[in-house]
Structure 1
Amino acid sequence: MIKINELIKSVSSMIYETIKDTDYKCKITDDDDQLQLYLNKGSCFFIDVHIENSKSVNLHFNKKSLVIDIRYFPHGRVKKSDLNEIKELLETQFVRSIKVGRRYIHISDIDTLILKDEVGYTLNFSIKTSYHEQVYFDKNDSNVIEVIRMRSSDVLKIESEVKNGAN
């Protein structure tokens, strides 16, 4: 099971790796309160993750679709060309997949948008992903499955004894 907080940490570290050797020094957060604090001091990336949908594929798996919104808020007035450069850096980092723990979430679509308002430019970088997640059985079901496994191993044991006795 992929946890949203682990996904946010993975995305944060990927953003950090992307910008650490550039002139774009900024904070990375997923907390609305921290966002306002960081915006008062400098540039900031804000990460928001939400489940777009979750569909049952079969008895054992669900297909989940997530949207990861990465918004870049520059400090002060910046040129649109700077945001284009950041967009290109993010596009090179988020190419095919995002590693979360031992799993990889594959990227299905990326949308980028550079907006200008009375304050200045902002960059919105949205990543759409989907993955299959195993549906876990409750305790009662797992007990039934264990009984079935034990019975099938007993049958195999009996068959093995019959074959060995016939030789």
Structure 2
Amino acid sequence: MTEISYRIPQQRVLRTALPGPRSQELAVRRKGAVAAGVGSTAPVYTADADGGVIVDVDGNALIDLAAGIAVTNVGASHPKVVAAIKDQAERFTHTCFMVAPYEGYIEVAEQLAALTPGDHEKRSVLFNSGAEAVENAIKVARLATGRPAVVAFDHAY
């Protein structure tokens, strides 16, 4: 296993009470600008993240126990992920596979099929949110069963 060098020390450091004064200022601004339906778990506002640590706007370094959703597997700002993003952004940043397909999407689907156990036919679809994934899972279930409807639970996502 290769060792990763982190920009931010991978340790918890508290410089202020939580939430700190800058996070409190942002919370006030948020109330005036962000719809109340948008919830957040932590009362602090992120300024930086690296590996398994988030640094808030007050300089507190916190262990990312929520894994930042999009960084669960490799941590925040993993050097290989950052390099891949920079490379892609230099080529193109705006396209929708359903409008103008591209090879990288197919490559990811092929890799997922190779990693999935079994010798049956395998296909993938990629989404950018849980809502899209749930909506399309319902469509796939309807297609697979031939039924016009499925049971879905509110607040299940």
For the criterion TM > 0.5, the same-fold answer is no
TM-score normalised over the length of structure 1: 0.19
Higher strand share: 1
Higher relative contact order (CA 8 A, sep 6+): 1
TM-score normalised over the length of structure 2: 0.20
Higher helix share: 1
Question: Which structure has the larger Rg over C-alpha atoms?
Answer: 1
